[in-house]
Structure 1
Amino acid sequence: MKRFVGGSLMRGVVNGCNRSGGGICGSRMMSSVAEKKEIGNGVEAKNEEKEKAVVSSYWGISRTNIKRQDGTEWPWNCFMPRDTYEADLSIDLTKHHAPKVFLDKFAYRTVKLLRIPTDLFFRRRYGCRAMMLETVAAVPGMVGGMLLHLRSLRKFEQSGGWIKALLEEAENERMHLMTMVELVKPKWYERLLVLTVQGVFFNAFFAVYLLSPKLAHRVVGYLEEEAIHSYTEYLKDINSGAIENVSAPAIAIDYWRLPKDATLKDVITVIRADEAHHRDVNHFAAHCIEYKDRLDNSLWHFLLSQVWVEGEAECMCNLPINKNIPCNLCAESANHLDQYV
């Protein structure tokens, strides 16, 4: 019986591959354009009939014909037009969460300590620094999203949207890295450093998130504050002429919907705005975790939400309250929210 099942399975694999081009092959070889000669970077040799480059399909599925708003073909496989957006440049870049409790102070001082070797190694080479920074910054969102995903499956409960938010943060940071790689060509020892730092940071952050999600999010919040500072210094060097204000990479123009004549300065500006958004999200996440138990079990907060349906403001918990009566859970009135986010 086992021999029969194994033989049937093998014949199915062989026949399926024969229909896709012949032989036993992986999904890469089953690409609809696999018979064409590759010229590198995932782009096939030009089709003699159509006279245009064809993007290879890694999973063996031909991509639908996607176009930009101006009618030209969409060139990217790593993101689609629906993933693009315009960065919010009006976001407050100076906002800082003042550490008060022990965990916040520990997170703040840890981040400051980690900055010392970074400053010594990269000095004012902000392109290479940004590349390293984005390699690390893309880890927390993936770790947090993965652990919350598993928790949701274990406990049969919703995540409140945090899984998607954290995974989108990780994807956004990855796009920062893809952009910086277009601008900075890392040397072999910098690639080795990236490999080492990423391996150490992933495992360390994974352990921290298991032990204290609040501490993990607070660390990320302070990391993003340092990232804002680094990109601000980057912009200063561009404005002073120390760093050439070259044209923006095509991937950045499409991802952030920048004008065609956008420059490096425009790219760094939108990346810095993204980091400010991630800062607010992670500080807010740490605050939500701190008050989660009281939010879930408080009759007082429920009564407030019913009494002040026409309240003049909202508390941290997004429920209407009166400005003169502090939220019993957040322990602050709506006039004092700036210190949290």
Structure 2
Amino acid sequence: MQHAESRSTVRQVNLDADIDVHIAPQSISDKVAFAFVKMLRFFADLFFARRYGHRAVVLETVAAVPGMVGGLWQHLRALRMMRDDEGWIRTLLEEAENERMHLMTFVEIAQPNWFERGLIIAVQMIFYNFYFFLYLFAPRTAHRVVGYFEEEAVISYTSYLEQVDAGAHENVAAPQIAIDYWQLPADARLRDVIIAVRADEAEHRDVNHDFVAIIDERRSA
């Protein structure tokens, strides 16, 4: 039996990504999404404090869930409605893949211990089921949650970058998986990785907020 050859996934670092973007919550749905994400941020800050590498490992596990769930539901909806998905499926699945690469990168950097690995399993189980049903019943809110989640991710990675620049965290060599994925220089460091990941998160933020706007347009049409 022949097996398909694995394709090497690469990505360009978006150096033009706008870091300072915030969509103020307007509707009740927005306010619920915003409050939920702020609650997650509170517990992340409480548990990890300034252990940014370990925080990234756990949170990227969560961040990789919405794209896969959203892609699944958009796939089923396109089949059910017998219409084109307008590119949503590929966009969401690419988001999930990108977040998974973030995770694999920070696993190399932070080297999570057994407790954190167990926490990853527990958090993924809980969040997957939560987000699955959220997307089923309230896809608009689900995308807004991701938009706000990514806003917080940008803030966290900016703080991480500042800590590295201040010498609070060692600017270690970038793992090979990150160099290959973002096509970074062979001598790239942690600082370069953080900039690349932050740019990705800013893109995901904008995409999910745009999806909310599209859903609103469809409902008002």
TM-score (norm 2): 0.97
Q: Which of 118, 130, 152 is equivalent to 2:44?
A: 118
**Which one has the largest radius of gyration?**
1
Q: Which of 162, 169, 180 is equivalent to 1:243?
A: 169
> Per the alignment, in what secondary structure is the counterpart of residue 42 of structure 2?
helix
Instruction: Establish whether residue 185 from structure 1 lines up as the match of residue 111 from structure 2.
Output: yes
Partner residue of 1:269?
Answer: 195
Task: For 2:3, give the aligned amino acid.
Answer: I
> Per the alignment, in what secondary structure is the counterpart of residue 119 of structure 1?
helix
In structure 2, relative to structure 1, the CA distance for the partners of 1:62 and 1:98 (3 Å cut) is closer
Instruction: Establish whether residue 212 from structure 1 lines up as the match of residue 138 from structure 2.
Output: yes
Measured in 2, the distance between the counterparts of 1:248 and 1:189 equals 25
Measured in 1, the distance between the counterparts of 2:204 and 2:103 equals 15
Considering Cα pairs closer than 8 Å and 6+ residues apart, tell me whether 1 or 2 has the greater RCO: 2
Partner residue of 2:154?
Answer: 228
Measured in 2, the distance between the counterparts of 1:62 and 1:151 equals 29
In angstroms, what is the RMSD of aligned CA positions?
1.3
TM-score (norm 1): 0.63
Over residues 119-138 of structure 1, what are the superposed CA-to-partner deviations in whole Å (9 max), with x where a residue is unaligned? 11101000000011110000
Instruction: Establish whether residue 194 from structure 1 lines up as the match of residue 120 from structure 2.
Output: yes
Task: For 2:204, give the aligned amino acid.
Answer: H
In the TM superposition, residue 113 of structure 1 has moved relative to its aligned partner by 1.1
Instruction: Establish whether residue 279 from structure 1 lines up as the match of residue 221 from structure 2.
Output: no
Task: For 1:206, give the aligned amino acid.
Answer: F
Give the count of matched residue pairs: 221
Instruction: Establish whether residue 99 from structure 1 lines up as the match of residue 20 from structure 2.
Output: no
Measured in 2, the distance between the counterparts of 1:284 and 1:218 equals 9
Task: For 2:154, give the aligned amino acid.
Answer: I
Measured in 1, the distance between the counterparts of 2:4 and 2:137 equals 44
Q: Which has the higher helix share?
A: 2
Alignment of 1:1-341 (within 5 A): 61=3, 63=5, 77=6, 79-80=7-8, 83-295=9-221
In the TM superposition, residue 85 of structure 1 has moved relative to its aligned partner by 2.3
Measured in 1, the distance between the counterparts of 2:35 and 2:108 equals 33
In the TM superposition, residue 115 of structure 1 has moved relative to its aligned partner by 1.2
Measured in 2, the distance between the counterparts of 1:283 and 1:294 equals 17
Task: For 1:61, give the aligned amino acid.
Answer: H
Task: For 1:278, give the aligned amino acid.
Answer: H
In the TM superposition, residue 62 of structure 1 has moved relative to its aligned partner by 7.3
In the TM superposition, residue 86 of structure 1 has moved relative to its aligned partner by 1.4
Measured in 2, the distance between the counterparts of 1:271 and 1:84 equals 13
Over residues 38-84 of structure 1, what are the superposed CA-to-partner deviations in whole Å (9 max), with x where a residue is unaligned? xxxxxxxxxxxxxxxxxxxxxx6374xxxxxxxxxxxxx5x51xx31
Displacement over 3 Å in runs of 4+: none
> Per the alignment, in what secondary structure is the counterpart of residue 291 of structure 1?
helix
The percentage of counterpart residues that share the same residue type is 55
Over residues 94-125 of structure 1, what are the superposed CA-to-partner deviations in whole Å (9 max), with x where a residue is unaligned? 11001111111111111101111111110100
Task: For 1:140, give the aligned amino acid.
Answer: P
In structure 2, relative to structure 1, the CA distance for the partners of 1:118 and 1:62 (3 Å cut) is closer
Task: For 2:206, give the aligned amino acid.
Answer: D
Measured in 1, the distance between the counterparts of 2:187 and 2:114 equals 32
